[in-house]
Amino acid sequence: MPKRRANGEGTIFQRKDGRWVSQYTDIATGKQKSIHGKTQQEVKYKLKNALNDMENGINLDKSNMPFVEWIWEWLEVYSKPRVRESTYANYYYIIKIHVEPFFPRVLLRDITCDMLQRFYNEKLINGRKDGAGRGISVKSVDNIMMVISCALKRAVLNGMIYTNEASKIVHSKKPKKKLTY
């Protein structure tokens, strides 16, 4: 006989087609949510993570939004009212030219340190948009990463993700200028 689950732990059952389903109630919205998987273990793992996210205040609906959509929202809602027009224009350019093409379908919750490190390295090697095939300066790449980091920091504060993955990347050293006498 299967063991009964306590209140708030959700329900796990197998459908007629063989797939496993878990259902639980989201405390914040009061709506019932479903999780699907191929095995009972997979569904238990996903349910455990979903309940943990809910307990820690992570907004699962918002973390499913595309990263590019979030960074545009961050620019308009959080950045635009606080910065000068020239800074806003610079941020807009950075997002449109550098960030949007590199992360077209990546979800906010799926952004990883490794992904951002590859982005950083790619910009150093082949970041120019004029077709020259050269990289852009370390300072310019650091400015791009600052915009990404600020957007991810706000996502953490809003309870959409756990950590700011941009804070974990390894930055390149800026080349030292040669002094001439």
pLDDT digits (tens, 9 = 90+) for 29-46: 677 888 888 888 888 888
Question: b/e string for 129-154 if b means 16 or more Cβ within 10 A?
Answer: eeeeeebbebebbeebbebbbbbbbb
pLDDT digits (tens, 9 = 90+) for 80-120: 999 999 999 999 999 999 999 999 889 988 899 999 999 99
Structure tokens at 83: 């910065």
Tell me the whole-structure pTM to 2 decimals. Answer: 0.68
The more confident residue out of 61 and 134 is 134
pLDDT digits (tens, 9 = 90+) for 159-176: 888 889 888 888 877 666
Is residue 152 within 8 Å of residue 166, measured between CB atoms?
yes
Q: Rounded mean pLDDT of 5-14?
A: 71
Closest by CA position to 119, among listed 168, 179, 77, 83: 168
Is residue 26 within 8 Å of residue 19, measured between CB atoms?
no
The more confident residue out of 62 and 21 is 21
Q: Rounded mean pLDDT of 15-22?
A: 89
Is residue 58 within 8 Å of residue 109, measured between CB atoms?
no
Confidence of residue 59 (pLDDT cuts 50, 70, 90): low
Percent of the chain with pLDDT over 70: 84
